Structure 1
Amino acid sequence: MKQFTLTQHSFLLLLGLVTVAFFWILLPFSGAVFWGVVLAIVFGPLHERLLAAFGERPNAAALATLILIVLMVILPVTLIAAALVDQALGLYAMVSTGQLDFDGLLRRTVGGLPGWLASLLERYESTIMDTLRDKLTAGVAQASQLAARYAVNVGRNALNFLVSMAVMLYLLFFLFRDGRTITARIKRAVPLSSHYKKPLFDKFVTVIRATVKGNVLVAMAQGALGGLIFWFLDVPAPVLWAVVMSFLSLLPAIGAALIWGPVAAYFLFSGAVWQGAVLALYGVLVIGLVDNLLRPFLVGKDTKLPDYLVLLSTIGGMALFGLNGFVIGPVIAALFIAAWSLFAGAEEFHGE
């Protein structure tokens, strides 16, 4: 086995220290850097086509790709965020002024329950029902206050947001322009043989593209369909609930149903039977069908991960890393599977 000299040990120590220091410096802009890299990977094929169309002029192709990303992604997200803030503030105002009486809503819901269930609940109304009522009222009020406070903080931190956005777009331009060179240098620097590097890098890129494109498309579709039916049924703040359903739909199988399910139940038990039936059928047959058809085709097909692993890695990733976790979780899971598959078939580890 090769023995490292003192000079080599010192250099490796220096390499580790400057690497940690470098990532520490980037920490304030970690979100901008992360999404810059993700967008560069996702829109890489588009940039390659534009590069060929521009006759291998990297600056023009990178700028054109950047403009398309702003028009297709950033501008629509900004407009939706503005509508979300407006409706969140409106919902908070309705809660704080008593226009939305959750105690009354709960009583009407209980009044619509089957007789045997209503009588059973009445026995424990002083305990279970009062507790449920208080928790529901306090929870919704806190959620509305949180949304309003977040909206105010976004306004106050608009400068930080704009700086992060500028950093992301600036980095994205150079990732497009110099992406091939950067990728080649990273591959050379990773201390693995090409037998391992190629499948791991390929899996990394494939999973990021499949996860982002698949989950975002599913989230957009489910959020838009959910917001549409909420608007049709005259549910308050449909844009707000559409965005919430979009975020929750990042959780496979169970996401959007956490919103439309309780609303459908409220309609049914409060006497609005046709609204509840329409929302329940629409949720199962339309919103649920989008998840059942699109997600396996867009995400599972390319990542080659079973549905349960996609679900667990997504939930775990979001629990640890927030919104970024819906990308990080499946990537880690896919690399875990790929690395162990390589290890299981590697002759140098098994002496075959």
Structure 2
Amino acid sequence: MTTKNSSPIEIAIQISLIAILSLWCFQIAKPFISIIVWAGIIAIGTYPIFLWLKKKVGLKAGWTATIITLTLLVILITPTILISSALIDNTQTLSQHIKNDQLVIPAPPEGVADWPLVGEKLNTIWSQAAQDPKALIGQYKTEIKTLMKWGVSAAAGAGLNILVFVISIIIAGVFLVSGKGIKNVFINIFNRVADGRGNELTTLSLSTVNSVVTGILGIALIQSLLAGMGFIAMDIPAAGVLAFICLIMAIVQIDILLVLIPISIYTFTDETTGTVAAVTFLVWNIAVGLLNNVLKPILLAKGVDAPMAIIFIGAIGGMILSGIVGLFIGAVVMVLGYTLFMVWLKPETIKS
């Protein structure tokens, strides 16, 4: 510990030792940071449900947290496994066909050329690809190779991502039980670094994370899962990949109808699909796409002031850094960081 009589050399040595110890601790904890952060995000998002359920059923905090944990495992893990399995199968099959020169692309259905805006160009490219898949691969060799590497990497990491989900949900259950104690810790931290404003900054942080979790991530997850169910029911090729694309688009606030409508049109041009099934699929996709407009006013009542660019950078950057889990964590962390930074610039913007 430094004193008034400490020499500059002693102070430098002490600071160096603290820095080395801090860096060492960080390196040890680094593999678990994403898991713990994701667990905290899940806990914050489900804490209102935890309080409501505890009051309704009259159980102790531990049992209530156990019920929520098991429910989350069923709700999140089951569809995650289904989508991940479909993604793995699609990626591996496509990769093997390309390597073995067995890639077969069906000819475009009749009527594709009549699609508005992109129909004629899409029909031309699709027809060329169906006639000579090797030429298509040769023309876009670099892009396809990069995509394949990413797909194989994603497929290989799917099992690890599922394990991360499971561990994070279990840890989130522990956080639910000790929610008040953890909140007090953050209040004390903010008090130390923000001149006694710990309570208001903690409240703002919790409100921001909860809004992002329920109003952005929750809606995105619901939409992508429902869309994926429709793809699987209609036997759409690459259903897992398409569902994952819908998930990314929904998180970065891009309307997934841009994907759902063309796929719905495709089913009308497919001779193997009945008219009733195609109409039902179209209605289902429209309902899934518009679900965002119904749920967002309810779940995002307080709003998220962060620009879409912040959410986009957080989601995509997080996915590049930490895989599928990072897709969720990145969006939340970037929005929280942006919100706290804006409050630091303009303290009067804190809402009571």
TM-score (norm 2): 0.68
Task: Quote how far apart the aligned CAs of 1:82 are.
Answer: 2.8
Q: Is residue 204–residue 331 contact of structure 1 (8 Å, CA) maintained in 2?
A: yes
Which residue in the other structure is 2:318 paired with? 321
Q: Is residue 183–residue 202 contact of structure 2 (8 Å, CA) maintained in 1?
A: no
Q: Is residue 318–residue 330 contact of structure 2 (8 Å, CA) maintained in 1?
A: yes
Given candidates 23, 36, 41, the residue that maps to 2:39 is 36
Residue identity matched to 2:168? M
Which residue in the other structure is 1:348 paired with? none
Change (3 A) 1:261 1:318: same
Please give the residue correspondences for 1:163-312 in structure 2 after superposition, counting only pairs within 5 Å. 164=164, 167-169=167-169, 171-190=171-190, 191=192, 192-194=194-196, 196-227=197-228, 229-231=230-232, 234-254=235-255, 256-257=256-257, 259-260=259-260, 263=263, 285-299=286-300, 301-305=301-305, 309-312=306-309
Residue identity matched to 1:89? Q
Q: Is residue 260–residue 279 contact of structure 1 (8 Å, CA) maintained in 2?
A: no
SS at match of 1:235: coil
Which residue in the other structure is 1:85 paired with? 88
Given candidates 311, 318, 337, the residue that maps to 1:332 is 337
Segments of structure 1 that go 5 or more residues without pairing to the other structure are: 346-352
Segments of structure 2 that go 5 or more residues without pairing to the other structure are: 320-326
After alignment, is 77-86 or 182-191 more displaced?
77-86
For residues 54 and 205 of structure 1, what CA distance do their matches in structure 2 show?
A: 25
Q: Is residue 208–residue 331 contact of structure 1 (8 Å, CA) maintained in 2?
A: yes
Given candidates 316, 332, 342, the residue that maps to 2:347 is 342
Change (3 A) 1:40 1:118: closer
Change (3 A) 1:264 1:145: farther
Residue identity matched to 2:245? V
For residues 161 and 113 of structure 1, what CA distance do their matches in structure 2 show?
A: 39
Which residue in the other structure is 1:147 paired with? 151
Task: Quote how far apart the aligned CAs of 1:332 are.
Answer: 1.9
SS at match of 1:303: coil
Change (3 A) 1:18 1:289: same
Task: Quote how far apart the aligned CAs of 1:291 are.
Answer: 3.0
Residues 107-141 of structure 1: CA distance to partner in whole angstroms, max 9, x if unpaired?
A: 98996689xx979x99xxx9xxx9x9555676457
Change (3 A) 1:296 1:93: farther
TM-score (norm 1): 0.68
Change (3 A) 1:43 1:20: farther
Q: Is residue 209–residue 336 contact of structure 2 (8 Å, CA) maintained in 1?
A: yes
SS at match of 1:188: helix
For residues 264 and 58 of structure 2, what CA distance do their matches in structure 1 show?
A: 55
Residues 296-325 of structure 1: CA distance to partner in whole angstroms, max 9, x if unpaired?
A: 5433x32342xxx44111112124322121
Residue identity matched to 2:343? A
Residue identity matched to 1:40? A
For residues 286 and 90 of structure 1, what CA distance do their matches in structure 2 show?
A: 31
Residues 200-225 of structure 1: CA distance to partner in whole angstroms, max 9, x if unpaired?
A: 21121112112112223322343244
Residues 130-174 of structure 1: CA distance to partner in whole angstroms, max 9, x if unpaired?
A: 9x955567645753564345324546xx5x964x45653553343
For residues 343 and 140 of structure 1, what CA distance do their matches in structure 2 show?
A: 50
RMSD of aligned Cα (Å): 4.8
Q: Is residue 211–residue 299 contact of structure 2 (8 Å, CA) maintained in 1?
A: yes
For residues 174 and 118 of structure 1, what CA distance do their matches in structure 2 show?
A: 56
Change (3 A) 1:174 1:285: closer
Task: Quote how far apart the aligned CAs of 1:260 are.
Answer: 3.8
For residues 222 and 168 of structure 1, what CA distance do their matches in structure 2 show?
A: 22
Q: Is residue 91–residue 237 contact of structure 1 (8 Å, CA) maintained in 2?
A: no
Q: Is residue 210–residue 303 contact of structure 1 (8 Å, CA) maintained in 2?
A: yes
Which residue in the other structure is 1:349 paired with? none
SS at match of 2:77: helix
Q: Is residue 36–residue 172 contact of structure 1 (8 Å, CA) maintained in 2?
A: yes
For residues 239 and 166 of structure 2, what CA distance do their matches in structure 1 show?
A: 31
For residues 170 and 235 of structure 2, what CA distance do their matches in structure 1 show?
A: 43
Task: Quote how far apart the aligned CAs of 1:32 are.
Answer: 0.9
For residues 234 and 141 of structure 2, what CA distance do their matches in structure 1 show?
A: 23
Whether 1:24 and 2:27 are equivalent positions in the alignment is yes
Q: Is residue 230–residue 281 contact of structure 2 (8 Å, CA) maintained in 1?
A: no
